[in-house]
């Protein structure tokens, strides 16, 4: 394997039971150790050799598998506060009758702070080391993320509706671009543009965004083809399918991240392939809202990069990437009626390298390779539900239940150690989150009493 000059002292050498580097695909190493220096992976060497290398710390993880940190490529962190407020409803009812009215009443800096902290804790303890986020007051999300130490792509929302954060799309862009400037040199946080969707952003605004992403080489994330009815509405309004509209306006390209992508025609897939745009698949959210199914097996075979995302906790309701991988692998089989579709190795790749490519970070994260950032997680596979150890990658994808994380690092900084978060205070976070449901209930009761329903 890749060896390090033994004369140079390392910061940390991890000796896990297994290493799953993700690249090369499907590889499971035993008796190997990972060397971390200056926040980067310096090498993967046989443990016999590694034990003799000088390091500030040697960490033995005898029942753990070490793998690259998981990348949650789509979400709305502060919506953790809305977890469970509106279940079992279709997308537009869920949005228009429940989520948007509650957001109109409650979204504030305090809401975003408390919701983001809860999400960060949830993400971190579920093995996510990099996440993408689209929500109002992204400046607050950036501050909280910086404290937590996770890596993030924050795509500031652009929507042609007045919100507590911005009165119109023009203000969204102004505030968002100022934030992008502020975080230009941040080591872990990058700021991109989050156009909400083609039904909530006008073609004029989308055109403006096309100019901006080209000028700034900025990432763009957009909800696209979330449902069949979104496609039907676009055909009625614009005379073309949402992805064709984006293509015509110059919005597709290697920095474009299309979230959801259900109800796809062969032409739609061709547009994705030819433009090198990315698909972010959110299987649990799509299933819960009965939105549709993204044909990820066909997409991957057509050469499209597929990443995974949880979406917000109001439509999932978990932010656990292990659960998302499982669902992606299972759903792909049902969608294609092929048990060979999205095997465990491919699901794990979508949750790591696929996410890294979508976020433009494949040179930095997504696999355990010398030179890449030391964004790593360790999962304990000694519990009964991951026994016996016939197949490590199979267990990671199909058998975990989200309780396996023991350690996590971002750029070599330890975020979780022996199952304990080091940068966040769980008691305080849970206590602050717990104050919100009472406010939501009081508001819902008050509007129900006057007969002025949430719709
Ligand atoms: Zn979303």
190-228 pLDDT tens trace: 999 999 999 999 999 999 999 999 999 999 999 999 999
Residues with Cβ < 8 Å from 121, sequence gap 6 or more? 148, 421, 424, 426, 429
**Taking a C-beta distance cutoff of 8 angstroms, is the pair 249, 206 a contact?**
yes
Q: Cα(83)–Cα(318) distance, rounded to whole angstroms?
A: 9
| CB contact burial 217-247 (16+ within 10 A = b; e otherwise) | ebbbbbbbbbbeebbeebeeeeeebbbbbbb
307 alpha carbon to ligand 1 midpoint, in Å?
A: 14
Categorize the per-residue pLDDT at 448 as very low, low, confident or very high, splitting at 50, 70 and 90: low
355 alpha carbon to ligand 1 midpoint, in Å?
A: 15
321 alpha carbon to ligand 1 midpoint, in Å?
A: 15
45 alpha carbon to ligand 1 midpoint, in Å?
A: 40
Categorize the per-residue pLDDT at 79 as very low, low, confident or very high, splitting at 50, 70 and 90: very high
Best CA proximity match to 436, nearest among 79, 75, 77? 79
pLDDT of residue 5: 52
383 alpha carbon to ligand 1 midpoint, in Å?
A: 33
Q: Cα(115)–Cα(429) distance, rounded to whole angstroms?
A: 9
In this predicted structure, the answer to whether residue 109 has a pLDDT above a threshold of 50 is: yes
Categorize the per-residue pLDDT at 447 as very low, low, confident or very high, splitting at 50, 70 and 90: confident
312 alpha carbon to ligand 1 midpoint, in Å?
A: 6
Ion ligand 1 — residues with CB < 5 Å = 311
Best CA proximity match to 163, nearest among 152, 175, 146, 148? 175
Q: Cα(43)–Cα(31) distance, rounded to whole angstroms?
A: 14
277 alpha carbon to ligand 1 midpoint, in Å?
A: 17
221 alpha carbon to ligand 1 midpoint, in Å?
A: 10
In this predicted structure, the answer to whether residue 67 has a pLDDT above a threshold of 80 is: yes
pLDDT of residue 95: 86
228-278 pLDDT tens trace: 999 999 999 999 999 999 999 999 999 999 999 999 999 999 999 999 999
Q: For residue 32, what are the β-bridge partners?
A: 46
172 alpha carbon to ligand 1 midpoint, in Å?
A: 17
pLDDT of residue 454: 33
Token pair, residue 409, equals: 């690092």
Q: Cα(423)–Cα(425) distance, rounded to whole angstroms?
A: 7
74 alpha carbon to ligand 1 midpoint, in Å?
A: 6
105 alpha carbon to ligand 1 midpoint, in Å?
A: 20
416 alpha carbon to ligand 1 midpoint, in Å?
A: 27
Q: For residue 12, what are the β-bridge partners?
A: 36, 57
Peptide bond into 317 cis (omega under 30): yes
**Which domains are assigned to the chain?**
10-68+372-421 (2.30.40.10), 70-358 (3.20.20.140)
Q: For residue 413, what are the β-bridge partners?
A: 410
In this predicted structure, the answer to whether residue 452 has a pLDDT above a threshold of 50 is: no
Task: Give the residue carrying structure tokens 């200056």.
Answer: 38
pLDDT of residue 1: 47
Centre a 10 Å sphere on the Cβ of residue 129 and count the other Cβ atoms it contains.
30
- The pTM score is 0.96
| CB contact burial 189-209 (16+ within 10 A = b; e otherwise) | bbbbbbbbbbbbbeeebbebb
pLDDT of residue 451: 41
Token pair, residue 188, equals: 């872990």
Distances (CA, A) of 246 to 46, 224, 264, 268, 339: 49, 9, 14, 11, 34
Share of the chain above pLDDT 90, in %: 91
406 alpha carbon to ligand 1 midpoint, in Å?
A: 29
């Amino acid at each position: 394997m890749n060896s390090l000059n033994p004369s140079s002292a390392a910061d940390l050498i991890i000796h896990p039971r297994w290493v799953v580097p993700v690249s090369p695909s499907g590889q499971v190493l035993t008796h190997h150790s990972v060397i971390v220096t200056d926040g980067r992976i310096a090498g993967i060497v046989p443990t016999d050799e590694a034990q003799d290398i000088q390091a500030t710390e040697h960490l033995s993880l005898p029942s753990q598998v070490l793998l690259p940190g998981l990348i949650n490529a789509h979400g709305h962190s502060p919506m953790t506060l809305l977890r469970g407020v509106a279940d079992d409803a279709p997308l537009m009812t869920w949005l228009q009758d429940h989520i948007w009215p509650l957001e109109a009443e409650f979204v504030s800096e305090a809401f975003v702070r408390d919701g983001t902290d809860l999400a960060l804790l949830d993400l971190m303890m579920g093995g996510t080391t990099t996440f993408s986020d689209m929500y109002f007051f992204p400046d607050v999300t950036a501050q909280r993320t910086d404290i937590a130490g996770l890596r993030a792509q924050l795509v500031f929302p652009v929507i042609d509706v007045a919100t507590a954060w911005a009165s119109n799309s023009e203000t969204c862009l102004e505030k968002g671009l100022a934030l992008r400037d502020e975080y230009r040199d941040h080591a872990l946080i990058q700021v991109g543009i989050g156009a909400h969707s083609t039904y909530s952003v006008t073609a004029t605004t989308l055109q403006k965004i096309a100019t901006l992403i080209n000028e700034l080489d900025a990432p763009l994330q957009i909800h696209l083809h979330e449902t069949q009815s979104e496609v039907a509405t676009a055909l009625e309004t614009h005379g073309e399918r949402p992805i064709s509209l984006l293509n015509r306006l110059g919005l597709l390209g290697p920095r474009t991240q299309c979230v959801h992508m259900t109800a796809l025609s062969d032409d739609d897939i061709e547009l994705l392939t030819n433009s090198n745009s990315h698909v972010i698949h959110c299987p649990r959210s799509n299933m819960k809202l009965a939105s549709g199914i993204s044909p990820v097996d066909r997409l991957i075979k057509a050469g499209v990069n597929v990443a995974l995302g949880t979406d917000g906790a109001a439509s999932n309701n978990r932010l656990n990437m292990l659960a998302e991988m499982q669902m992606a692998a299972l759903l792909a089989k049902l969608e294609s009626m092929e048990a060979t579709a999205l095997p465990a190795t491919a699901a794990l790749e979508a949750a790591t390298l696929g996410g890294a490519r979508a976020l433009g970070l494949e040179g930095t994260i997504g696999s355990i390779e010398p030179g890449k950032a030391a964004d790593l997680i360790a999962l304990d596979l000694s519990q009964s539900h991951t026994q016996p150890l016939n197949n490590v990658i199979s267990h990671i994808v199909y058998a975990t239940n989200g309780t396996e994380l023991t350690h996590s690092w971002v750029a070599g900084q330890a975020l979780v150690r022996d199952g304990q978060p080091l940068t966040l205070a769980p008691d305080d976070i849970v206590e602050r989150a717990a104050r919100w449901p009472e406010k939501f209930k009081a508001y819902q009761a008050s509007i129900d009493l006057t007969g002025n329903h949430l719709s």
